[in-house]
Amino acid sequence: MNSPDRATTLVASDLDRTLIYSTGALQLTMPDALAPRLLCVEVYGSKPLSYMTETAAGLLDRLARTTVFVPTTTRTREQYGRVRLPGPAPRFAICANGGHLLVDGVSDPAWQALVAGRLADECASLAEVRAHLLAVSDPAWLLKERVAEDLFAYLVVDRTLLPEGWVQALAEWAGPRGWTVSLQGRKIYAVPRPLTKSAAMREVARRTGAELTLAAGDSLLDADLLLAADHGWRPGHGELADSGWSAPHVENLPQAGVAAGEEILRRVLAATGAQPVLDGAG
């Protein structure tokens, strides 16, 4: 890739299991004595929750100072607010799968209005979809039912008890109503089709005049983001890796777990034209 002007490069990256990792997602396969030093970037309920390696933290700090770095997450604004990423505070952030575009930490009202109009015009209501979810779910395997930002719904399930074909049947019901369904770990997401990370990324690119867009993500809800970017990366774990998903301009990395987050940041920095960073360097 040609070295772009860094000031016009936008980097939109998913957070969970892409840049930051819970204890259960770290996948540290080396002996304990060789494990990387970790930096806690999220505390919840007075307990550490999410981490990245110290090397990754240094890489992210550098990236945030040389590009338009945009955290891009399905998390709600409240959940995103718990994360303390290294480096300068991002000017823009995308939350609720594109439902909220934060500008200096505040949800942009013009974007909110645009999203609300699209959902009203193109989709069945959240109330209808939520009622259907509850009607067809079985308490034997349904652990929790949640609504995020009054925009989309998800179920937390016991996958060992989830009937074969249930998710597919739900997707077939939701599709004609303008909604998508995806199973990710223990969660089944029902998301309006116009509610995408890619739409919000394009809006940030328009506002900033970015000439190059780079993206990273691991889940099915990141596929549209990766497809919309000029170049992208996905780690060797997650739903995209498990399904064999690929695209010509997306690099499928072999690294998994917290090591993948570090490698993604190395690749992104290299794509911006920055000098390579050696292992262990901040």
pLDDT in tens, 196-229: 999 999 999 999 999 999 999 999 999 999 999 9
Based on the domain organization, do 32 and 157 belong to the same domain? Answer: no
Residue 22 makes CB contacts below 8 A (sequence gap 6+) with 16, 49, 50, 51
Together in a domain, 108 and 205:
yes
Coil vs helix vs strand at 70 = strand
Same domain, 101 and 200: yes
Instruction: Give the DSSP letter string of 156-224.
Output: EE-TTTSPTTHHHHHHHHHGGGTEEEEEETTEEEEEETT--HHHHHHHHHHHHT-SEEEEE--SGGGHH
Domain span at residue 169? 124-192
Give the CATH number, domain containing residue 95. 3.40.50.1000
CATH of the domain at 158: 3.90.1070
In a domain, 18, yes or no: yes
CA angle (146 as vertex; 144, 149 as ends), nearest 5: 165
Per-residue b or e along 3-21, where b marks 16 or more CB atoms closer than 10 Å to that residue's CB:
ebebeebbbbbbbbbbbbb
Question: Is residue 1 in a domain?
Answer: no
110/223 same-domain check? yes
Q: Which amino acid is at 150?
A: D
Residues 45 and 182 in one domain: no
What is the percentage of the chain residues whose pLDDT exceeds 70? 94
Same domain? 202 vs 233: yes
| pLDDT at 14 (0 to 100) | 98
86 in the same domain as 51: yes
Query: Per-residue pLDDT for 275 more than 80?
Result: no
- pLDDT score recorded for residue 4: 39
Same domain, 154 and 175: yes
pLDDT of residue 243 exceeding 70, the answer is: yes
pLDDT at position 6 over 60: no
- State whether 228 and 240 are in the same domain: yes
Could you report the per-residue pLDDT of 37-53, keeping only the tens digit for each?
Answer: 999 999 999 999 999 99
Residue 129 lies in a domain: yes
- Helix ranges (H only) for 51-125 are 54-66, 77-81, 109-122
How far the first Cα of the chain sits from its last, in Å, is 24
pTM over 0.85: yes
CA distance 134 to 137: 5
Task: Supply the pLDDT for residue 278.
Answer: 43
Whether 244 is in a domain gets the answer: yes
Tell which of 192, 210, 240 closes a domain. 192
Tell me how many domains the chain contains. Answer: 2
Question: What gap in Å lies between CA 160 and CA 273, rounded to an integer?
Answer: 46
* Phi, psi for 227 (deg, rounded to 5): -65, -30
Residue 40 and residue 95 in one domain:
yes
Q: Are 237 and 218 in contact (CB under 8 A)?
A: yes
- Average of per-residue pLDDT across 16-25: 96
Nearest to 100 by CA among 121, 63, 74: 74
46 with 75, same domain: the answer is yes
**Are 100 and 200 found together in one domain?**
yes
Domain end: 192, 209, 244, which one?
192
